[in-house]
A and B are shown apart, each in its own frame.
Chain A
Amino acid sequence: MWPSLKDLAKDLRNGQVKSVDLVNKTFQLIEDNKEYKTIISVQKDSALKKAQAIDEALKSGHKLGRLAGIPFIAKDNFLTIEGYTTAASNVLKNFRAPYQATAINLLEEEGAICVAKSNMDAFAHGSSTENSDFFTTSNPFDQERVPGGSSGGSSASVALNIAPFSIGTDTGGSIRQPASFCGIVGYKPTYGLVSRSGVIAMASSTDTIGSLTKSVSDGILIMDIISGQDKLDSTTLDSQYKVDSKRITKVKKARIGIIKEYLDYGLDDSVRKGLDLTIQKLKDQGFLLEPVSISSLPLALAVYYVLCPAEVSSNLSRYDGLRYGYSDDQSKDLEDSYFKNRTNGFGKEAKRRIMIGTYVLSSGYYEAYYKKAQLVRTKIINDFKEVFSKYDFLIGPTVPTVAFKKNSKNSPLEMYLNDIMTVAANLAGLPAISLPVLMNDNLPVGIQLIANQKKDNELLSLALEVEEILKS
């Protein structure tokens, strides 16, 4: 078990622990937990070098950042100068990034040390890591089950206590769903709160970057560090909206809507139990909770699986192998090289999404699918706006089920349906968090809290309170 990030930072500052020891311990833990297959690559030499430098600076009394000497694991779709960045795809198997993601830079400026890159569904397409082109990660609580996805390697690593924290990406639930399956805290911020610069693009209009931690307070610290406006991403929001530890307050009263549409969906008994328990405990503390209907929500998944593949097909068109990534030397001319590089480079799910996206964007179908989905997206956004005029927050399950068995989904659509309760927040750009509530038959159950856009500090304040209440 790792202490909280704040305590860990304090121990490092006081000289009670050394960064080199923490980094070595992490590498030992990666080795010890190899059977779970959470890690794609490690950055051993660079991490130890950085740790030594931090230890020396601390010894000579330099004032260092808030995470000085603390190791972390990044999902493998964050570009890092050190080591490889693969997005768990054969296309980028040997890719070394020429520059680094803003989020990684911000963590490093505070002294955090990236030690490894974690497994994921290739290009973040999936909910189980089964779409990784390399291997499937196992759930820390039952190796026959998936850890969730696409940030499955990150979630499982944090749940297994391999590293104190990890960062991931959430395009349709890829932080919250694996957090729920692994019993940890997963935070997805308002769209544009964290820079997407240097993060391998999936669906640009819903891609967000967030934290995977053991506690809400650790998540607040990470989000405080990585959020804020960035010149390299023109869609980032003004820094006045960023997560700010000083703006986290005690929430005594709040109006919380219980999303009715999610209750009617076939929930696992354990998920229903977890949600009911949370609702009861919050009511006992004087919070106002009542069911609220958001009638367009059942449409969110259909909207998502038009818009997301459309954006994927556009974003993945850059992988033609001409400039970087997998390249087949045997092709006879330029046209042939496009076909060979893409056919041999992409895995099944990437191809599936590229083809759906190409279809819904193609002449004759654009209006019927893509444009229509954009219109229904507006409807969902309007419905959320109306609900947030009456309620401060929304509550519901993160996922309808606990972690499912590997190879148990019979079709791509069946896998997509797992995202039914997470995609809406992405379509509307809302901040949302998954919190672990209870263990049922040794499998974790999570609940989800959602707030209005740009209310990240309010949502994290509430999450802190809910976490406390759930402990009691």
Chain B
Amino acid sequence: MSQILTKDDVLKVAKLARIEISSQELEDYLKELSEIIEYVKQLEKVDTSNLKPTNQVTGLSNVYRNDQVLDYGYTPGDLLDSLNKIEDSYVKVKRVIE
């Protein structure tokens, strides 16, 4: 059966999403993702002329608030305390360049 996606497609999206996949996983995902994409492809045939895309369902737009600091009972320090690695309130990460 010809798959709707190719192995290259799956490897490409995995890389874009920063996920490594083994060769066995590649086979599985190729089959599963193809099946799902095949199913959603039915939308292709639907006539949607004169329609606008929906991003938000309840009709709210441009919700403003006053530009002022509010106290929610926690400090920036509390939030930083929940992080993996911090140094002087900076997030510490692995080396970026050689």
Contact = CB atoms under 8 A, between A and B. Distances in A.
Interface of A: 95-99, 190-192, 205, 231-232, 234-235, 237, 296, 299, 301-303, 305-306, 313, 317, 320-325, 327, 331-334, 336-340, 342-343, 346, 351-352, 354-356, 358-360, 362, 368-369, 371-379, 381-382, 411-413, 416, 427-429, 453-454
A355 B55 contact: no
Given A355-B14, A372-B48, A377 B54 contact: yes
B33 A356 contact: yes
B42 interface: yes
A358 B5 CA distance: 13
Contacts of A191: 57-58
Contacts of A356: 33, 36-37
Interface centre among B42, B51, B54, B60 (most CB of A within 10 A): B54
A305 B36 CA distance: 8
Contact of A355 (B33, B56, B82): B33
A99 B32 contact: no
Given A333-B94, A413-B32, 10 more contacts: A99-B73, A99-B79, A234-B65, A337-B94, A354-B19, A355-B14, A355-B19, A411-B32, A412-B36, A429-B58
A306 B13 contact: no
A373 B40 contact: yes
A126 to B, nearest CB: 14
27 contacts: A97-B82, A98-B78, A99-B73, A99-B74, A99-B79, A191-B57, A192-B58, A205-B56, A232-B72, A234-B63, A235-B63, A302-B39, A302-B40, A302-B42, A322-B84, A322-B93, A327-B84, A333-B95, A334-B94, A342-B18, A343-B18, A359-B5, A362-B12, A411-B35, A413-B32, A428-B57, A453-B57
Given A302-B42, A333-B96, A359-B13, A379 B36 contact: no
Q: Is the interface of A mostly helix, strand, loop or mixed?
A: helix
B69 interface: no
A209 B70 CA distance: 25
Nearest to B53: A374
B93 to A, nearest CB: 5
A342 B17 contact: yes
A375 B58 CA distance: 16
Contact of B53 (A95, A99, A375): A375
A190 B43 CA distance: 26
A330 to B, nearest CB: 10
Interface residues of B, number: 52
Interface centre among B42, B48, B55 (most CB of A within 10 A): B48
A337 B44 CA distance: 38
A358 to B, nearest CB: 4
Contacts of A322: 84, 91, 93
Contact of B55 (A192, A205, A237, A382): A205
A320 B57 CA distance: 30
Nearest to B62: A234
B27 interface: no
Nearest to A337: B94
Contacts of A320: 18
Given A334-B94, A376-B46, A190 B58 contact: yes
B79 A371 contact: no
B84 A355 contact: no
A387 to B, nearest CB: 16
Contacts of B14: 355
A235 B56 CA distance: 9
Nearest to A346: B19
